[in-house]
Amino acid sequence: MKLFRQPIKLSLRAKITLLIESLVVLLVVSTGIITTMREKDTLESELRKRGLALAVDLSKFTARPLLGNDLATLRRFVTHTMDQDNVRYVFLMDSQGKVIMHSDLAEVGKIYKDALNVAALNSTESRSSYLSRQGELHCDLFTPIQISDVRLGTVRLGYSYAAVEKEMAKARQQILIIGLVTTLLGGAAAYLLATFISSPVKRITDATREVAAGNLDILLEIERNDEIGALANSFNKMTEDLRKTTISRDYVDNIIGSMNDTLVAVDPEAKITNVNRATSKLLEYEEDELIGKDINLIIPREEKNFRGKGFQRLLGQASVVNHELDYLTRSGGRIPMLFSAAVLKNKDGGVVGAVVIARDITERRRAEEALRKSERELRFLSSQLLSAQEKERRRLSIELHDELGQALMVLKLKLRSIREGLRPEQWSLQATCDELLGYINDVSENVRRLSRDLSPNILEDLGLSAAIRWLVEKSCKHSNLKSTLEMTELEGLFTRERQITVYRIVQECLTNIAKHAQASHVSVTVTKQDDLFFFRVEDNGKGFDVDEVLGKDPRTKGLGLAAMYERTRMLKGSLDIWSQKGAGTLITFTVALDDGGSRL
């Protein structure tokens, strides 16, 4: 029983041979059966024709003896008919069914009342039927005996079926011999044809095994103009393409393997299909531990791009470039990565997955944090320096106003007293004293101007709005510029420190225009929207290239623009400079309302 449980393995040649031989056997058997049936029909038809011919001849010859009741002649005709091959019985009946003459004299005088005999007496034409008598099959034939349409009786004749069976036996023997010969010849032809078909197929199969084993240098030499030849040519082309592809794949695999960046390939269900060595090393996993896992194993829950609809939206995009996220390591740590992803599609445009490349930016994050910390410290230092500068300016302004100004006033009074004490003839000394008094007045005016420039006391005396108006008028008058001023009232909205900062920014704008712009008109506008104030200073001067100026080495450019930017940051606002050569300059900056200030 175990023998039949084992699968039977047949070669392609054996299968083709068995198939063709089975078709040949089926054809031979079908042909033999059809031939035998046709031969049987032919022999049976011939049997009936012979029997009917004997019966008809007998009916013709016995008509007159039957009419004359010539029994001897009837006996002679019956005996003569019995001498024919394969005739088993013959008898004559009158019109009433009585046996007048029989091949078996014992039956003479009897009346047969069986159904066949009744049918024979009533039939007007010759007929036949098959009967089995004493274990032998025979054909029973009957025909009427008549003269001039007057029925005298009936002839019944039994013709043995043995002749048909004998001929059928011969025919079967011949068909069997022909079938065996045809089967043998068909088997030989099937074997040769199967060999012709299977031999190159076996060579192709063996070559395929060689290719599967890694031997890509194999070449099939099958020169045929049929499908097998086309298959061999296709195999050779496939091998050549595979060899080129394998070389390219190995090259790409080496590149991917040597990458320092991580590479993860995922399918449309966000399952990891491939990773490189850098990924395994960075995330502390073995490669086979990641393959087949959901990519969310290495991406935090808060990152939505690879979860549910987020991943489907990602597949709908062409790519994602330079997106920062964290990767999760096996030990639970987080590694900051600079992430890029591209969707993979087949030649029909169908999405087959995505490839994700990410770079460890831990060191960059540390450098950025250090840079931000340094920037915060520098800004704090800058703001402290500017604050200290304002305090020092205020101190100097007070000292100039209080001490130097008072000293000049005392000197002026004493000099005036000396002049008044001179005699008229001392006119030369008087002129000298008058000249000195004028000089002292100029010095006093310069001290007052320096004091105002160092610390604009007008801010404390009249407020920010008046200080800006005075600054615009003084600057434009000193530089021979026309001016336009539109300003929302700013009183009581900013602390003293913020007022000074705003004043210094506007002052720097006007100073730069006077020094560099070569303008003829200046427009200053201050507007308010919600809790934001918008300052706009515009001139029609020669303009400049903003990027070129801002991009200069800090050691070669002035500190004016840098101070403006820093003061704007101190106000937690923003500053924008637009300029074009020949088209003037526009400087805008915004300042938020003090949290504790009043509202307009």
Region 526-552: mean pLDDT is 84
- Separation between Cα atoms, residue 461 and residue 70, nearest integer Å: 180
380 confidence band (pLDDT: 50, 70, 90): low
**Which token pair is 271?**
């399952």
- Separation between Cα atoms, residue 151 and residue 63, nearest integer Å: 9
Q: Strand, helix or coil at 108?
A: coil
Q: What are phi and psi of 353, to 5 degrees?
A: 150, -160
Region 549-562: mean pLDDT is 67
556 confidence band (pLDDT: 50, 70, 90): low
Region 272-286: mean pLDDT is 85
| Residue 183: per-residue pLDDT | 84
- With beta carbons less than 8 A apart as the criterion, state whether 522 and 472 touch: yes
- Separation between Cα atoms, residue 208 and residue 59, nearest integer Å: 84
**Least confident residue range of 188-192, 284-288, 426-430, 571-575:** 426-430
| Residue 401: per-residue pLDDT | 55
| Residue 111: per-residue pLDDT | 85
| Residue 599: per-residue pLDDT | 38
- With beta carbons less than 8 A apart as the criterion, state whether 157 and 135 touch: no
Residues 395 and 540 both lie in one domain: no
**Per-residue pLDDT for 1 more than 50?**
no
The residue with greater pLDDT, 516 or 221, is 516
**Per-residue pLDDT for 13 more than 80?**
no
Assess if residue 506 is contained within a domain.
Answer: yes
Region 321-342: mean pLDDT is 83
Residues 29 and 120 both lie in one domain: yes
The residue with greater pLDDT, 538 or 162, is 538
Please give the share of the chain, as a percent, with pLDDT higher than 70: 80
**Which token pair is 389?**
């500068």
Q: Can you give the CATH number for the domain in which 309 is found? A: 3.30.450.20
Residues 582 and 521 both lie in one domain: yes
- With beta carbons less than 8 A apart as the criterion, state whether 464 and 505 touch: no
Among 487, 499, 509, 460, smallest CA distance to 591 is for: 499
**Per-residue pLDDT for 189 more than 60?**
yes
Region 87-113: mean pLDDT is 85
pTM tops 0.85: no
550-567: b (≥16 Cβ within 10 Å) or e: eeeeeeeeeeebebbbbb
Residues 305 and 355 both lie in one domain: yes
Residues 149 and 265 both lie in one domain: no
Assess if residue 235 is contained within a domain.
Answer: no
- Separation between Cα atoms, residue 302 and residue 334, nearest integer Å: 13
| Residue 396: per-residue pLDDT | 65
**Which token pair is 425?**
């003839």
| Residue 597: per-residue pLDDT | 46
Final residue of a domain: which of 326, 360, 394? Answer: 360
- Separation between Cα atoms, residue 45 and residue 418, nearest integer Å: 179
Residues 443 and 471 both lie in one domain: no
| Residue 159: per-residue pLDDT | 79
**Per-residue pLDDT for 2 more than 80?**
no
- With beta carbons less than 8 A apart as the criterion, state whether 51 and 159 touch: yes
Report pLDDT digits (tens) over 19-76: 887 888 888 888 888 888 888 788 878 878 888 888 888 888 888 888 888 888 888 8
293 confidence band (pLDDT: 50, 70, 90): confident
Radius of gyration for the chain, computed over Cα atoms and rounded to the nearest angstrom: 65
Q: What are phi and psi of 100, to 5 degrees?
A: -90, -40
- Separation between Cα atoms, residue 156 and residue 131, nearest integer Å: 13
| Residue 448: per-residue pLDDT | 65
Residues 21 and 164 both lie in one domain: yes
Report pLDDT digits (tens) over 303-316: 766 666 667 676 66
**Which token pair is 565?**
């930017």
- Chain-centroid distance of CA 222 in Å reads 39
- Chain-centroid distance of CA 344 in Å reads 6
Assess if residue 477 is contained within a domain.
Answer: yes
| Residue 524: Cβ-neighbour burial (10 angstroms; 0-12, 13-18, 19+) | buried
| Residue 258: per-residue pLDDT | 56
549 confidence band (pLDDT: 50, 70, 90): confident
Residues 425 and 570 both lie in one domain: no
Question: Could you give the number of structural domains in the chain?
Answer: 4
Residues 442 and 471 both lie in one domain: no
| Residue 598: per-residue pLDDT | 42
CA angle 467, 471, 475 (to 5 degrees): 175
368 confidence band (pLDDT: 50, 70, 90): confident
Assess if residue 421 is contained within a domain.
Answer: yes
**Residue 409 CB partners (closer than 8 Å, separation 6+):** 444
Residues 443 and 522 both lie in one domain: no
**Per-residue pLDDT for 406 more than 50?**
yes
Assess if residue 207 is contained within a domain.
Answer: no
**Least confident residue range of 62-66, 188-192, 263-267, 311-315:** 311-315
User: Which whole-number Å values give the CA distances from 491 to 272, 305, 459, 598, in the listed order?
Assistant: 65, 51, 10, 9
- Separation between Cα atoms, residue 501 and residue 568, nearest integer Å: 8
DSSP letter, residue 400: I
- Separation between Cα atoms, residue 567 and residue 554, nearest integer Å: 17
Assess if residue 204 is contained within a domain.
Answer: no
- Separation between Cα atoms, residue 349 and residue 160, nearest integer Å: 84
Residues 448 and 493 both lie in one domain: no
DSSP letter, residue 197: H
DSSP letter, residue 285: -
8-30: b (≥16 Cβ within 10 Å) or e: eeeeebeebbeebbeebeeebee
| Residue 211: per-residue pLDDT | 73
Residues 312 and 353 both lie in one domain: yes
Domain that holds residue 326: 259-360
Q: Can you give the CATH number for the domain in which 509 is found? A: 3.30.565.10
Beta bridge partners of 361: none
Assess if residue 195 is contained within a domain.
Answer: no
- With beta carbons less than 8 A apart as the criterion, state whether 17 and 191 touch: yes
- Separation between Cα atoms, residue 26 and residue 34, nearest integer Å: 12
- Sheet-wide strand order for 262-266: 272-275, 262-266, 351-360, 334-345, 319-328
Largest CA distance in the chain: 221
Final residue of a domain: which of 416, 437, 455? Answer: 455
Long-range pairs, 440-445, Cβ under 8 A, ≥24: 440/408, 440/411, 440/412, 440/415, 441/412, 443/408, 444/405, 444/408, 444/409, 444/412
Final residue of a domain: which of 455, 482, 504? Answer: 455
**Which token pair is 85?**
């091959």
Q: Strand, helix or coil at 378?
A: helix
Q: Strand, helix or coil at 489?
A: coil
Assess if residue 441 is contained within a domain.
Answer: yes
Report pLDDT digits (tens) over 420-478: 777 777 777 777 877 777 777 777 767 666 666 665 666 666 788 888 888 888 888 88
| Residue 458: per-residue pLDDT | 65
